[in-house]
Amino acid sequence: NAGVTQTPKFQVLKTGQSMTLQCAQDMNHEYMSWYRQDPGMGLRLIHYSVGAGITDQGEVPNGYNVSRSTTEDFPLRLLSAAPSQTSVYFCASSTGLNSNQPQHFGDGTRLSIL
């Protein structure tokens, strides 16, 4: 059981570069989400998806794009990286949108923007 798999685990970018953080789940979950975790700020929701072809913005969506072409995959794109996007990024999945369903998290991507 792989659960939620995030790649890469670590990445260093220069300001202005673009990249895609990958997230895949093998539990056939409809709901997937991306969070960033910063010291003193906790987990903040960036974007989420309630199924293939459906995405919506969370609390801090600016500078990030997402798409959901399959149930399994939910990539997060940084269009033009900025130092303020230095963070740890977590992908999560669950069977439902509301919090009556536990979320399953990946182990994160640690991203540094120089």
Shortest Cβ 22–another protein spacing (Å): 15
Alpha helices by DSSP H, listed for 3-76, are: none
62 near another protein, rule: CB under 8 A: no
Q: Which residues contact residue 41 at a Cβ distance below 8 angstroms, ignoring those fewer than 6 apart?
A: none
27 near another protein, rule: CB under 8 A: no
DSSP bridge partners of 6: 23
Closer by beta carbon to another protein, 20 or else 57: 57
Q: Which residue has the tokens 């990249």?
A: 19
Residues that bind another protein (CB under 8 A): 4, 33, 35, 40-45, 48, 58-59, 90, 92, 97-100, 102-108
